[in-house]
Amino acid sequence: MLTFKASRLFIKFTLVMISFFLSVIQSFANSREHFELALRRALDSSATWTMEKTIEGTPIRISSSGIVKCFKGQGIFWQMQKPFVSGISMKGKEMRFFGEDGERVVPSSEMPHYEEITKAIDEFASGKDVRFEKLFKIEASNLSTNQWRVRLEPKRRDMRQLIKFLELTGSATLNEVVFYFSSGEKAHYTFKEVFASLPAKGSK
């Protein structure tokens, strides 16, 4: 049987642990909210990007840069400007590839998960995350008062054969995305927003 002093210590310990877990839950909720706001903003804005790709076990580093333009519910245009000019347009039920050889159209039927992913992105941009959560396990945490980090892990086995997980970091905007591929390759993207269609939080 616990003594009075021991009981007080046990109660104090219990309260401290409850406070700790509540703070962790609140921290997760805050970082998750900040992530969602920043990603929805990114899905309706334009940004410049730089990418560095590395291959596990080799000294190979591949660098490129360009611009990405997102239009809420109307598609994404991804353009590479260096080391050469090319582009990808994701809109509707097809992808268009642009390059030195001209334009090539690939229907969604030839690309596994294309429609599912684009629908999830469009719905997420509109404030609905149900379909997005069916595709990814979401783990959010705070790096500091103003910075968050989110890990997205594909739930589907066939998607995990290509991508192990993605790691996103940012503040009011999305700053970095790192793709960890199942092949051992890693692609690190850095973004700098140049135009946002969505108003900042709190603006009229």
156-190 pLDDT, tens digit each: 888 888 889 999 998 888 889 999 999 889 999 99
CATH code: domain of residue 141: 2.50.20.10
pLDDT given for residue 21 in this prediction: 33
In a domain, 202, yes or no: no
Q: How many CB atoms lie within 10 A of CB 97?
A: 14
Query: How many domains is the chain partitioned into structurally?
Result: 1
Task: Dig out the tokens for 173 from the structure.
Answer: 């905007």
pTM for this structure?
Answer: 0.73
Range of the domain at 63: 7-196
Question: DSSP class of residue 3?
Answer: -
Assign 3-class secondary structure to 76-110: EEEEEEECCCEEEEEECCEEEEEECCEEEEEEHHH
d(CA 63, CA 58): 15
At a CB cut-off of 8 Å and minimum separation 6, what does 101 contact? none
Amino acid 17: pLDDT:
41
Give me the pLDDT at residue 28, please.
Answer: 39
The pLDDT tens digits of the residues spanning 74-128 come to 788 889 999 989 998 888 778 888 888 888 888 877 776 777 778 888 888 777 8
Q: List Cβ neighbours of 157 (8 Å cut-off, separation of 6 or more).
A: none
Least confident of 6-10, 21-25, 93-97, 99-103: 21-25
Q: Order across the sheet with 163-170: list the strands.
A: 102-107, 94-99, 86-91, 75-82, 61-71, 45-55, 185-196, 174-181, 163-170, 148-154, 136-142
204, part of any domain? no
Residue 132 within any structural domain of the chain? yes
Specify the DSSP element, H or E, that contains 29: helix 4-42
What angle (nearest 5°) sits at the alpha carbon of residue 104, between those of residues 42 and 40? 10
| 114 Cβ neighbours under 8 A, 6+ residues apart | 95, 108
In a domain, 203, yes or no: no
- Mean per-residue pLDDT for 134-163? 85
201 lies in some domain: no
At residue 35, the 3 state secondary structure works out as helix
Is 174 inside any structural domain?
A: yes
Q: What is the pLDDT of residues 29-64, one digit of tens each?
A: 466 777 788 888 888 888 999 999 998 888 888 999
Most confident of 9-18, 140-149, 165-174: 165-174
113 is a domain residue: yes
